[in-house]
Each structure stands twice: as C-alpha cells, then as structure tokens.
Amino acid sequence: MGSLDGKGTPANLTGAKGNDVQPSLSKNGLFIVYVSDVDGNYEVYRMTADGKDQTRITYDDGDDVFPKFSPDGTKIVFTSNRTGNYQLYMASVEESSEIDVAKVVAALEKKIQTATDD
C-alpha cells in the first residue's frame, strides 16, 4: 500500500512466500480481500487495511479469484472453477462458508414466482 501522490516507499502488507494478487478494498476502507496461492492454489483471504488479521475465506481445490466486497460489506463475491467452469460464488466476510450465487438467484426467483401467483 502506498500514497496516491507516489511519495514514500509502498508498504508490503502480506509478505507471504506465495503470490498475493487481486486486492480489493472495502467501501469503508477498513478491509482488503485478495487472492493468494500460499497454500498451493488460489484462495480468497481477508485482512485489515493495515495488513493485520489475515484470514483465509475459501477452502477448495479449485482456484477462487477476483474477490469483491458486496455493497454492504458483509459478503465477498468471487469467481471459482471448483466445478470445472468458472462460476460466481458468495462467502460471508466473517466466516469461511461459501454460497453458490446461482442457488440464491433460483431461490429468489421461486419466491418472486410464488408471490405473483397469489
């Protein structure tokens, strides 16, 4: 992390032996999600903006990449090839449980259909 004016030396926030890529800052500026292959394949991690409290969010044999915070900051949306094709997933910021976005959309569509049938 460095200053916008380019002055000073940027700070290394992760310092891991693997590749740490694709950072995304939360809307409130307090957290960063990023991707790291330090454990063998690309997984999503979260840390505070100062590089502390690095927490692994995803655990899967596929590559989990391109993480972004939801607008309210409570979820992380990312792409994964865990099923053989890249698809969208969502995970809680607080815990490492992933939700398949397709299942959420299907449930919402079913709820909308049920509501319009009444």
The whole-number pLDDT of residue 104 equals: 57
Mean per-residue pLDDT of the chain: 83
- Which residues have a Cβ under 8 Å from the Cβ of 110 and sit 6 or more positions away? none
The whole-number pLDDT of residue 111 equals: 65
The whole-number pLDDT of residue 107 equals: 61
The whole-number pLDDT of residue 97 equals: 46
CATH top-level class of 20-117: mainly beta
Q: Coil, strand or helix: which one is 37?
A: coil
The whole-number pLDDT of residue 84 equals: 92
Residue 77: strand pairing partners: 68, 90
Where are the domains positioned within the chain?
Answer: 20-117
Phi, psi (degrees; rounded to nearest 5) at 39: -100, 15
What stretches in the chain show pLDDT beneath 70? Answer: 1-4, 95-108, 110-111, 115-118
- Which residues have a Cβ under 8 Å from the Cβ of 91 and sit 6 or more positions away? 44, 57, 58, 75, 76, 78, 97, 98, 99
